[in-house]
Amino acid sequence: MIPAGELITGALRTLWEHKVRTGLTMFGISWGIVSFILMNAAGEGLRVGQVRQRENFGKDIMIVFAGRTSLQAGGARAGRPVRWRDTDYLSIRQEASACREVIPEFGRSGMPVRSRYNNGSLMVTGSLPPFASIRSLSIAEGRFYNDEDDAAARRVAFIGSDVRRQLFSGQPAVGETLHIAGVPYTVVGVMREKGQNSSYDGKDVSKIFIPFHAVMRDFPQKPPGNPRDIDRLLVTPVSWEEHERCKFQVRRALGRLHGFDPNDKEAAGIWDTVEDAKAFVRIIDGMQYFLGAVGVATLFLGGIGVMNVMLVAVRERTVEIGVRKAVGATAGAIRRQFFTEALLIAGLSGLLGLGSGLGICFFLNQLRLPQFFAGMLVSWKTALISTGMLGAVAVLSALYPASRAATVEPIEALRFEPGG
């Protein structure tokens, strides 16, 4: 039996003698591995980037807007406008067991705001303390307003990072006083910078956040609006599985409170980020399956190339095989020789492809990438699948040529004339 080292050395020598053919064959497998890695890394980067952007806006939230009825309910006509009230959330909380949080939100745009250093026309938003976690408002300095602040309707403010730059010009903001439409508010916190690619009333970094009961007292709707009207409700489900039930329970409670059919989606319009997230997951999964299938197909085409090249090598070396068998080489020794050559081609190609794919991902990650894209992310799963597919391709592409070489008869081989 030929030692493994000698077998590998001989296989490498043979491959070097046919370096052009070997190189072209290796390129096919390498490109298959590179394609699989790049496609899956791009899909994973897009998925993670979108998850981060979605969580920057708010994780698993539903924004409930008041609209007009499109269905008759009782004796009320369709087309009637509805408005949410400042106490609706209390009733909904009691009825909607599938919802984790239900909070009101009321905002006033274009409010005149001034500090000791500057002034501006800004959006002022009032809600309850859970708003910070629901809408992913991270704290850079100070704190967000708490339950005691809201219960007492204290005049405290949490400001966005852009608001701090505009009104304080790099000066300390926490503890300073803002005058909102002439009403003094004390800054208790500053929001951390965050990217945001979606919103319903502007970017959070450009807003001032104050307690709900303070905004309703100091800046209510002006006539002909009702001073108890609010803009919207923010709702989070207990879980993804419960989100449809939560949505129905909210509409049912609002329908009872405002006299419309709970199936009337026009009366209570909902921006459902949970449903958006589920749809996005389905799209990304489908895209990754498709891109992965393209990479797998490319890889297996490279494997077919290895098989064809090795079959050609068997034919070209028929006389050599016959001589070796005539002097005592066994069919197993011939099989091992050609099997080793095919494995070396596939293995070296795979290592080259793996290194190239990781190198390209590393290079692209050094570039300035858009916020919605987290970069070329190679997961352990991708690397494991790549290695497994490479091993399968290597074995499958080596088995048949090696078996063909082992079945060559010495007498027929010695009669063989290349090209004949």
Supply the pLDDT for residue 60: 81
Best CA proximity match to 317, nearest among 5, 15, 2: 15
Is the pLDDT assigned to residue 106 strictly greater than 90?
yes
Which letter does DSSP use for residue 238 in this model?
S
pLDDT confidence band for 420 (50 / 70 / 90): very low
H helix and E strand count, the chain = 13, 10
d(CA 215, CA 353): 60
What whole-number percentage of the chain has pLDDT above 70?
A: 76
> What confidence tier does 254 reach under pLDDT thresholds 50, 70, 90?
very high
Cα dihedral 321, 325, 329, 331, rounded to 10, equals: 80
- Asked if residue 104 has pLDDT above 90, the reply is yes
Average pLDDT (298-325) is: 69
pLDDT band per the 50, 70, 90 thresholds, residue 55: low
β pairing state of 268-272 and 62-66 = antiparallel
Q: Give the lowest-confidence range in 250-254, 264-268, 315-319, 365-369.
A: 315-319
**Cα(101)–Cα(158) distance, integer angstroms:** 21
pLDDT tens digits along 281-291 = 787 778 777 77
Q: 387-416 pLDDT, tens per residue?
A: 676 667 667 666 666 676 667 666 665 555
Hey, how many other C-beta atoms are within 10 angstroms of the C-beta on 99?
A: 22
CA angle at residue 223 from 226 to 186, to 5 degrees? 80
Q: What does the pLDDT look like over 190-209, one tens digit per residue?
A: 999 887 666 777 888 999 99
* Mean of pLDDT over the chain: 81
Judged against a pLDDT cut of 70, whether residue 362 lies above it is answered with yes
Strand partners for 120? 113
Q: Is residue 18 within 8 Å of 313, Cβ to Cβ? A: yes
- Length of the chain counted residue by residue: 420
Alpha-helical (H) ranges within 259-330 are 273-316, 318-326
Among the listed ranges 136-140, 279-283, 306-310, which one has the minimum average pLDDT value?
A: 306-310
pTM assigned to the model? 0.68
Q: Could you give the CA distance from residue 208 to residue 189 in angstroms, rounded to a whole number?
A: 10
Residue 348, both tokens: 């070296």
pLDDT at residue 215 above 90? Answer: yes
What are the phi and psi torsion angles at 329 (to 5°)? -70, 135
**CA dist., res. 176 & res. 184, Å (int):** 10
pLDDT digits (tens, 9 = 90+) for 326-349: 777 677 777 777 777 777 777 777
